Amino acid sequence: MSLAKQHFFITGTDTEIGKTFVTSALLLGLAQQGLSTVGMKPIAAGAELLDGVWHNEDVESLIAAASVKVEQQLVVPYLFHTACAPHIAAQRENAQIELPPILRSYGRLCELADVVLVEGVGGFCVPLSAQLSAQMGAQMSTESVAQLTTVDLAQALALPVIMVVGMRLGCINHALLTAQAIAASGLKLHAWVANTVDAEMAYFDENVQALSQHIAAPCLGVIPRIPQLALQTRAQGALAYLDLNFLK
Ligand SMILES: Nc1ncnc2c1ncn2[C@@H]1O[C@H](COP(=O)(O)OP(=O)(O)OP(=O)(O)O)[C@@H](O)[C@H]1O
Ligand SMILES: [Mg+2]
Q: What is the mean pLDDT of each run of 10 residues along the chain (248 residues)?
A: 83 98 97 96 97 94 97 97 96 96 98 98 94 52 68 98 98 98 98 98 98 98 92 91 91
- Burial tier of 156 (Cβ tally within 10 Å: 0-12, 13-18, 19+): middle
Q: Which residues are identified as catalytic?
A: 41
Q: What string of DSSP letters covers 179-233? A: HHHHHHTT--EEEEEEEES-TT-TTHHHHHHHHHHH-SS-EEEEE-PPPSS-HHH
Name all residues whose Cβ lies below 6 A of ligand 1.
12, 15-21, 58, 122, 195-196, 223, 225-226, 231, 234
**Residue 1 covered by a domain:** no
59 falls within a domain: yes
Domain count, the chain: 1
* Position in ligand 1 atom list of the atom nearest CA 57: 17
Distance 184 CA to ligand 2 centre (A): 24
- Domain membership of residue 3 (yes or no) is no
Residue 2 in any domain: the answer is: no
Q: Tell me the chain's radius of gyration from C-alpha atoms.
A: 18
Query: Which atom of ligand 1 is found nearest the CA of 235?
Result: 31
Residue ranges making up the domain that contains 161 = 8-247
Q: Ligand 1 pocket test: pick from 16, 171, 200 the residue with the most ligand atoms within 8 Å of its Cβ.
A: 16
* Residue 55, domain CATH: 3.40.50.300
Query: Residue 4 C-alpha to ligand 2 middle, in angstroms?
Result: 25
- Cα 143 to averaged position of ligand 2 atoms, centre (Å): 32
Distance (Å, rounded) from C-alpha 215 to C-alpha 207?
Answer: 12
What pLDDT shows up at residue 142? 47
235 lies in some domain? yes
How many other CB atoms are found less than 10 A from the CB of residue 145?
15
Ligand closest to 84 (CA) is 1
Q: Please check whether residue 146 lies inside any domain of the structure.
A: yes
* CA angle in degrees (0–180, nearest 5) for 243-245-247: 100
